[in-house]
Structure 1
């Protein structure tokens, strides 16, 4: 990361999608910076990620002008040579908030006011900081050489995705004022509660307590939103959202909006799949003589692993077949539909090195409930960042419909979006469709479903989202989702992987193309997690049977019962029934719905509801 070619710190590439993407604040040891929009990233240093299904889904969301998915630029420089070209590889950032506070005298002023100086840490980028020149200490009589200046800890944000500096001058003077005096920030008590934090004007003596910036007082004492996008250096006109004060580092200041897809084989053979994945490299070739040069380039860059094992003649024949339509697979914007069709194929489909699967026997005692178990020995997940929201998470709409406004990644419509790919392993479990359908028709299941649907309506009504029924996933999804959570918690105790690196992917759609009823539990971490075979080993029949039995028995009684089992989502407008941190919740990174739409009573009998369980004899 760099500010005018000044390195200020480093983050992992995957964090530029999930934590510190465009528009997000990076709270460094001495600085706070905002990651710039992708229109000022060095696109040529961002390597391509090939996944046509995900690209089609991104184009459906952002427009057909999106041409590619690309990884964030990665610096491989491990030395301290700051003059090398490699040292300048990174993501552009700029200081934000603009207002800094001197730790010695409390001076509060923008960093470009001339009162602060940037001290660069040439050998230690994390030591780069601003200092207050000419500081004379808190009493004004003791010169303090190079007193550090730290970012002001208060900002303004709104649910339309805007972020702005806190209006210090407006706030301390209770509105617009011509006073140009310097401001001081100080503490009046032993604790750092907002009641003990004050800002004061040196010229006119006006002072104000920071408690007036929050809650109902904040609504009365803060100006309207200016529509600022600091990562784009741009202002949106006429924002009507109500701004609110947030703290620097607050988790609600940036929520990523992303899409993910599993790389699955869609073509008839390995070569056809490679040509489908990398068609952008071959579409312009006009003759057989041009193929060897393309192969050499792809082998050197590693952009299409496996293409080098085929001869130029075979590749040219495949190109001609692709152009004629023979063997050309249809690119679909639908993400999970093609994955489901590959996973339930009677003959396990493989596409080394991205996808290797093996069918195994159904665990003993679960034949009537489970139809198929597939060990996914290798899989590749590709994630793409579409935008972000502030204040409210993108799924705060309660599962669908209108929600918080998605902020853009660039000023103009993007022609590429940041993406990353991770490799891992997993277990796919397909449930018996007839058993699921019969279970859904039970009056007790429908009653349990009605309770959660009532909570869903209340959730959306409390956020003024219409229509209130929109986005509810149904009892099938709730049961599969809850069971996946129970199994994740059990697997985490035995597989040896970090619990937060185990994820779920639920297939529960019912439409004209057929019914889905299953899930994948897989590891997809950006480091070595997910590559050791521990999860696949636990998917073998004898191990999976034991884990399923343990998970179901453990779920019957929660340490928070009877409160957990008796929870009615209609009363508190929540999105879960019999579920809590003690029994069913998992890490936010593991769940595709933020620990929502969970109900143990739909999986196993509970104290409150013993008749709605899909596994009544567990």
Structure 2
């Protein structure tokens, strides 16, 4: 990571712009640049703090060799971009990298207790120390943010002078200097004391600064600061309520991630040269018109045969949402998942394709009838898969899963035709539940009642976080969705115990709708726990039968029982029932829904009603 270059202009040989020679500030993995330290997030490096810069300059600063383009047409179409780029590699030979800007600017000195902007300490070039005391400066522990995604400095001056000048401007007018010290009596906010040398205001503690209306009571509203875009980026009109956060809080930055599997006919890479032309090609229905366009663009040397181009156009139109004149993002994402489900069911035999094929899904050789008593059917061995995960935007204060486009903050000031993304190559196991047995089970009144409690709680959370409750997306909680979600969690936990996989190395992908009832569990990393065949081997019917039986029996008991199984509500806002970290919850990197909408009672039943469990017969009820 590197901070932005100095503003003064310099020239190199023959007046050309010189190569940047910017100081390095730590290193992050490519995956972290998508999931943890993406654009707009805060990152601590040693005793300094930075915000990751926007992507407006990334097209020039990211080297093509260190940050290559990657293509996934189905996901690019969903997100309305032409292609994706891997974040720059971070190694000793990197020429440039992810750029950062210092934030917060307010720092304090542990010796002299001065609290002021970093530049006012007169630090030596390249160091973050007090020019007087020569000790390391401490970045402000407190920042402010709003639900629209803006990020700002904590208003220390207004906080100190609030009793006298409530609602004053952000520029101190008393002529004094701010001081910050710690009394040392406790580790609470009460021991963090801020004062001003003007003598017009008493020394106050930070206690109460985290109240929801603490800044509103000072007459302060969000002015739309966006420090990750630089000082030249104009502030946006906002006016929303600001909230105080600790600099390292997870609420400061939440990524909005979207992903897609590479499935035929897009999974062999042959369509990549056409990545920037699909929107234009879709305007033509006639084969002759497509041929003329390709000849003009590629000067008669199109790398993809015309027959393949027409087949790809037909495949793309098949994913258009049915009956939707102006499909929403959710409709298009659902259509993308439907096509993946169809391909996972039908398979894609390796012997029929070249070595470049990135999706290989085959039927296991064993007798699948052993799974019939469990209500499980259609297991498939996904021997090769490729998933592309793109960083679409980010949010602050609110969960990215429950947000709307209006609450998502884009990654750049001006629209870009690409997004940062990462690709994962691995393997997995796909299975489905028997539709007849599932249909009969989900109609049971007791099952519907339990799921309705979770759905109501989740819908309430969504409405509380929305500006307009009437436009809130309905909760996805249904009996089959909660069942599939909980089953996926216990299978991943079982494989982490029996097959040697770390739970964080596996990931779920759910296919739950009126016409879908499937689970794909796959390797979520490409390191030593990646695609070596270990997970695929777990999909053979005999072994899968043993795994499911063992996982379900393990889910019968939790170390937190009877509190867990008899819980009336758990999780964020009561969106879970019988689920906790001792039984079915997973690392957040493994779960599609942030560990909500889980209930193991739908698998194994409750002490009062064991038949509410889908696997009640297997357990002898």
**TM-score, normalised to structure 2's length?**
0.82
Specify whether residues 363 and 222 from structure 1 end up closer, same or farther in structure 2 by C-alpha distance, changes over 3 A only.
farther
**Shift in Å at residue 410 of structure 1?**
0.5
3-state secondary structure, aligned to 1:39: coil
Would the alpha carbon gap of residues 362 and 162 (structure 1) be closer, same or farther in structure 2, given more than 3 Å must change? farther
Hey, what does 2:264 align to over in structure 1? 265
Tell me, yes or no, if structure 1 residue 367 matches structure 2 residue 372. yes
Q: 1:483 aligns with which of 482, 487, 497?
A: 487
Q: Is 1:116–1:130's contact at 8 Å kept on the other side of the alignment?
A: no
Written as runs of structure 1 = structure 2, the 5 A alignment for 1:347-386 is: 348=349, 352=355, 353-360=357-364, 361=366, 365-368=370-373, 369-386=375-392
Q: Is the 8 A contact 2:605 2:616 kept in 1?
A: yes
1:596 aligns with 2:582: no
The 8 Å contact of residues 456 and 469 in structure 1, kept in 2 or not, is answered as no
Q: Structure 1 residues 118 and 500 mapped into 2: Cα distance closer, same or farther (>3 Å)?
A: farther
The alpha-carbon distance between structure 1 residues 529 and 23, as it changes in their structure 2 partners (threshold 3 A), is same
3-state SS, counterpart of residue 231 of structure 1: helix
Query: Structure 1 residues 67, 582: CA separation in 2 closer, same or farther (over 3 Å shift)?
Result: same
1:103 is aligned to 110
For 1:403 and 1:89, locate their aligned partners in 2 and report how far apart those are by CA, in whole Å.
32
What is the aligned counterpart of 1:94 among 101, 119, 141? 101
Alignment partner of 1:47 out of 68, 81, 87: 68
- Aligned pair in 2 of structure 1 residues 425, 118: CA closer, same or farther (>3 Å)? farther
CA distance in 2, matches of 1:479, 1:362: 25
Distance 1:227 1:444 in 2: 48
Alignment partner, residue 204 of structure 1: 199
User: Is the alpha carbon distance of 1:205 and 1:482 closer, same or farther for their aligned partners in structure 2, counting shifts above 3 Å?
Assistant: same
Q: Is the 8 A contact 1:107 1:182 kept in 2?
A: yes
Structure 1 stretches of 5 or more lacking a match? 60-65, 79-85, 121-128, 136-145, 295-314
- Does the aligned pair in 2 maintain the 1:163–1:230 contact within 8 Å? yes
Residue 51 of structure 1 and its aligned partner are, at CA, apart by 0.4
Q: Which runs of 5+ in 2 are unaligned?
A: 6-21, 279-292, 320-331
Query: What does 1:297-336 correspond to in 2, within 5 Å?
Result: 318-323=304-309, 329-330=315-316, 332=319, 333=332, 334-336=335-337
**Aligned equivalent of 1:561:** 561
State the partner residue of 2:145. Answer: 157
318-327 vs 334-343, which deviates more? Answer: 318-327
Residue matched to 2:452: 450
Q: Report how far residue 503 of structure 1 moved.
A: 0.6
Cα distance, 1:491 vs structure 2 = 0.6
What's the secondary structure of 1:372's corresponding residue?
strand
Tell me by how many angstroms 1:396 deviates: 4.0
Aligned to 1:337: 338
Residues 300-324 of structure 1: CA deviation (Å, up to 9, x unaligned): xxxxxxxxxxxxxxx86x5222455
Structure 1 residues 221 and 195: CA distance shift in structure 2, 3 A: farther
Q: 1:571 to 1:116 in 2, by over 3 A?
A: closer
Select 2:396's aligned residue among 390, 394, 397: 390
Residues 570 and 578 in structure 2, CA contact (< 8 A), matched pair in contact too = no
Change beyond 3 A, Cα 1:281–1:187: closer
Seen in structure 2, the aligned counterparts of structure 1 residues 377 and 100 have a Cα distance that, compared at 3 Å, is: same
Determine if the alignment matches structure 1 residue 167 to structure 2 residue 143.
no
Residue in structure 2 matched with residue 539 of structure 1 by the alignment: 539
Q: What RMSD in Å do the two structures reach over aligned CA positions?
A: 2.8
Which string of whole-angstrom CA distances, capped at 9 and with x for unpartnered residues, describes residues 134-155 of structure 1? 23xxxxxxxxxx2211211110
Q: Relative to 1, partners in 2 of residues 1:407 and 1:7: Cα closer, same or farther, differing over 3 Å?
A: same
Q: Residues of 1 paired with 2:216 and 2:190: CA distance? A: 17
The equivalent residue for 1:298 is none
**Count of residues paired in the alignment:** 550
2:116 is the counterpart of 1:130? no
Q: Find the counterpart in structure 2 of residue 278 from structure 1.
A: 273
Counterpart CA distance in 1 for 2:399 and 2:391 is 15
Alpha-carbon contact 1:47-1:71 (below 8 Å) kept: yes
> 2:416 corresponds to which residue?
414
Deviation at 1:133, TM superposition (A): 0.9
Q: 1:549 to 1:404 in 2, by over 3 A?
A: farther
Instruction: Give the deviation of 1:239 after TM superposition.
Output: 1.5
Report the Cα offset of residue 11 of structure 1: 0.7
Q: Offset at 1:38? A: 0.6
1:155–1:164 CA contact under 8 A, matched in 2: yes
Q: Which residue of 2 aligns with 1:186?
A: 181
Deviation of 1:98 (Å): 0.6
Corresponding residue SS for 1:384: strand
* Cα contact 1:392–1:404 (8 A) shared by 2: no
Cα distance change on mapping 1:325 and 1:616 into 2, 3 Å: closer
Which segment is superposed worse, 197-206 or 415-424?
197-206
Deviates more, 1:24-33 or 1:195-204: 195-204
Superposed, 1:454-473 pairs within 5 Å as: 454-460=456-462, 462-463=464-465, 466-467=469-470, 470-473=474-477
Question: For the structure 1 residues 199 and 147, does the alpha-carbon distance in structure 2 shift closer, same or farther, using more than 3 Å as the test?
Answer: same
1:611 CA displacement: 1.9
Distance 1:89 1:275 in 2: 31
**Which residue of structure 1 lines up, in the alignment, with residue 46 of structure 2?**
29
CA distance in 1, matches of 2:545, 2:576: 27
- C-alpha distance in 2 between matches for 1:455 and 1:508: 20
Greater mean alpha carbon deviation, residues 420-429 or residues 359-368: 359-368
